[in-house]
Amino acid sequence: MAVGIQHISGRAVALERRDVDTDQIIPAAWLKRVERTGFAPGLFGAWRNDPDFVLNRPGAAEAKVLVAGANFGCGSSREHAVWALQDFGFQAVVSPRFADIFRGNCISSGLVPVEADEKAVSALFAALAADPDAQVVVDVAARTVAIPSAGLSEPFTIADFAQWRLLEGLDDVALTLRHEDAISAYEAARASWLPSSAANEAASA
Amino acid sequence: MTGRLFDKVWDRHLVASPEGEPSLLYVDLHLVHEVTSPQAFEGLELAGRKVRRPDLTVATMDHDVPTIGLDKPIADELAAAQIARLRQNCAEHGITLHALGSPEQGIVHVIGPQLGLSQPGMTVVCGDSHTSTHGAFGALAFGIGTTEVEHVLATQTLRQVKPDAMAVIVDGELPPGAAAKDLVLTIIRALGTGGGVGSVIEYRGAAIRALSMEGRMTVCNMTIEGGARAGMIAPDETTFAFLKGRKHAPKGAAWERALADWRGLVTDEGAEFDHEIRIDASAVRPAVTWGTNPAQSVSIDDTVPDPASFETEPQRQSAQRALTYMALQAGTAIRDIAVDTVFIGSCTNGRLADLREAAEVVRGKKVHQGVRAMVVPGSARVKADAEAEGLDKDFTEAGFEWRSAGCSMCLGMNGDILSPGERSASTSNRNFEGRQGPGGRTHLVSPAVAAATAVAGHFAAPGDV
């Protein structure tokens, strides 16, 4: 992720399901790719075979925000799930609760995880049911998700550091390498018996 | 000081705790496989960075390797290219690779413990959610995404916000016929798919202490299915006996020093947890999932539940949707459900002890007519050891296919898949829609139940066949 994200404004897709696992978001057959791009056709691959699926509805291709039920992104650690959502055009996902690994992957790749409470997400679903074309606005700095045409604005939760990373578009490795001296010092003090592929034979010393 | 096992392992890996930022944790062991690593190596190279500790990085091929015809070129071009990429990345960066065809190749979470690489008090990460398996040794082990894989390759550290600590206390004794798999499915049913989000679980109690290392690995492996990234079990004599003499375990005086350290890796008397649940082991029965997430299971003696019987509207909707996908009627006895395929293997239940349990059931019997049954050992060594004991004969004479090691039908990346509408009894870890192939219907079970089901042609306990 190189570019910071302040504001997201656009159409939304409402996916009223809970426990959406990463096998649904991007089926395993797509994981043979060695690139970070080209996953859009595989997004919700099996569910898109149903012509009535929300991603097949008019306007979905322009959507920037996905609104979903609780425990979104559970299951496999595949970051490909985040890449597929981004490749399709989504810049934020709203859910009452994200699976831990998926949330981390979102921050890593710059997809905004908008964790709002159940009531707020229900209100978003209701507003989108009434007006599927409504614009949804995610303000990362203010930690709000809004549908201005419905007079709706709800707070969401994101850790300070994750918010800062998204706003600034920072590279985690570069941030960590500021602590390289501490890493080297730590390494010098590690227990001698810890396994290493290089020092396997020396472990008996 | 009263500390929890989790705190002790966490604290000893803190490299830095910068104000207002997540902590920087040192990674003792980074396991790598072909599917979640290519983009990480590419990122590393684009930034002109090197692998900081190739000696603490170990790679294998498991997710999309074939399990038959290893003497021939890999037919799937994409898989072949991905596998070739891993080989190239490991060669360029000096990383030990247990490649397809080598004696230590296998599922990443089977080979780590097998080689003695997974030890008490360590941090273990891998671009795979079932990394929680290694917590069975009292390690802090969890799955990471590909960007984090790149971060670990470059820095040997990870940025982490400290999760909560949850205790899952399993009192009492498992009844005969109930396996570690049945226990963990029962725990997940109690926890729900998201109940562990934000927590690291420590499994405690008499029934946990009584488990073998293989059983502990099965329990820790499926921790992620309850939403927690890591599950841990304090090391004890069972752990030490398993480790002693393994290739990467400490030896001689180093073993004694390590042992003295490991004995301190327990939760102190009086330490409190942020969350706690209790499970009565004596009530655990052989479990069978009926739905499309691992929390949706019942006892084999039960019937498919009525969606209306669930407490909340989202649960009712979820159950209804699952029954439609699974083509099941509420009220059907689990034993009346016929299967097309039986799969024994995976990082959950692909170890030698699992194969022994299954072989015990099928020995001298035949797979039911029309059922496709396969055993995929978790590693090349598990396969060789099983063959040395003659387990392969038990399986093949009964009509099972005896394959080579890999993830295989657990996630269906390598061509070992269910056809649309096919129903499986599987010893793997996920019954998500299409997990074992588009349109496939997966029921999670223990190795013994899978074996009995293969013989009966419908769900069955070992006592039924």
Residue A122 pLDDT > 90: yes
Minimum Cα–Cα distance from A177: chain B residue: B155
In angstroms, the CA B127 to CA A185 distance is 26
A2 confidence band (pLDDT: 50, 70, 90):
low
Residue contact A32–B82, C-beta within 8 A: yes
In angstroms, the CA B14 to CA A84 distance is 34
CB contacts, 8 Å: B325 with chain A: none
Residue contact A24–B432, C-beta within 8 A: yes
Contact (Cβ atoms closer than 8 angstroms) between residue B176 and residue B285: no
Residue contact A197–B293, C-beta within 8 A: no
A170 confidence band (pLDDT: 50, 70, 90):
confident
Minimum Cα–Cα distance from A188: chain B residue: B15
In angstroms, the CA B266 to CA B138 distance is 9
A192 touching chain B per CB within 8 A = yes
Q: What is the mean pLDDT of each run of 10 residues along chain B (465 residues)?
A: 90 94 96 98 96 98 95 94 98 97 97 98 98 98 98 97 97 97 98 95 98 98 97 98 98 98 97 97 98 98 97 92 98 98 98 98 98 98 98 98 98 95 98 97 98 98 97
CB contacts, 8 Å: B243 with chain A: none
Instruction: Count residue pairs from A and B with Cβ separation < 8 A.
Output: 218
Query: What does the DSSP assignment read for B278-295?
Result: EEEGGG---EEE-SSSTT
Residue contact A193–B156, C-beta within 8 A: no
Mutate to test the interface with A, among B21, B58, B142 (most CBs of A within 10 A): B21
Residue contact A32–B413, C-beta within 8 A: yes
pLDDT at B20: 86
Facing residue for A74 by CB, picked from B15, B163, B194? B194
User: A-contacting residues of B 358-377, CB under 8 Å?
Assistant: none
Contact (Cβ atoms closer than 8 angstroms) between residue B457 and residue B370: yes
In angstroms, the CA B196 to CA B274 distance is 11
Residue contact B55–A172, C-beta within 8 A: no
In angstroms, the CA B162 to CA B22 distance is 8
Contacts 24+ apart (CB under 8 A), B239-242: B239/B120, B239/B136, B239/B137, B239/B138, B239/B213, B242/B113, B242/B213
Residue A202 pLDDT > 80: no
pLDDT at B341: 98
Residue contact A34–B261, C-beta within 8 A: no
Stated length of chain A: 205
In angstroms, the CA A183 to CA B387 distance is 45
CB contacts, 8 Å: B128 with chain A: 76-77
CB contacts, 8 Å: B53 with chain A: 187
A188 touching chain B per CB within 8 A = no
Q: Average pLDDT of A68-84?
A: 98
pTM for the whole thing?
A: 0.97
Mutate to test the interface with B, among A17, A31, A119, A177 (most CBs of B within 10 A): A31
Could you give phi then psi for residue B438, rounded to 5 degrees? -55, 130
pLDDT at A3: 72
pLDDT at A205: 33
Query: What does the DSSP assignment read for B6-43?
Result: HHHHHHTTEEE--TTS-EEEE-SEEEE-TTTSHHHHHH
Residue contact B39–A191, C-beta within 8 A: no
Minimum Cα–Cα distance from A197: chain B residue: B55
Residue A201 pLDDT > 70: no
Helices marked H in B300-433: 313-326, 346-349, 352-362, 380-389, 391-398
pLDDT in tens, A30-65: 999 999 999 999 999 999 999 999 999 999 999 999
User: A-contacting residues of B 14-73, CB under 8 Å?
Assistant: 15-16, 18, 20-22, 24, 26, 28-29, 35-36, 38-39, 42, 47, 49, 52-58, 63-64
Residue contact B144–A78, C-beta within 8 A: no
B424 touching chain A per CB within 8 A = no
Could you give phi then psi for residue B450, rounded to 5 degrees? -60, -45
Residue A74 pLDDT > 90: yes
Residue contact B261–A191, C-beta within 8 A: yes
User: A-contacting residues of B 165-204, CB under 8 Å?
Assistant: 193-194, 197-198
In angstroms, the CA B196 to CA B114 distance is 28
In angstroms, the CA A110 to CA A104 distance is 10
CB contacts, 8 Å: A19 with chain B: 193-194, 293, 318
Residue contact A161–B22, C-beta within 8 A: yes
CB contacts, 8 Å: A23 with chain B: 411, 430, 432-435
Partners of A144 in the β-ladder: A139, A155
The mean pLDDT value of chain A amounts to 94
Shortest Cα distance from A115 to chain B (angstroms)? 13
Shortest Cα distance from B29 to chain A (angstroms)? 8
Partners of B426 in the β-ladder: B343, B444
B250 touching chain A per CB within 8 A = yes
In angstroms, the CA B112 to CA B62 distance is 13
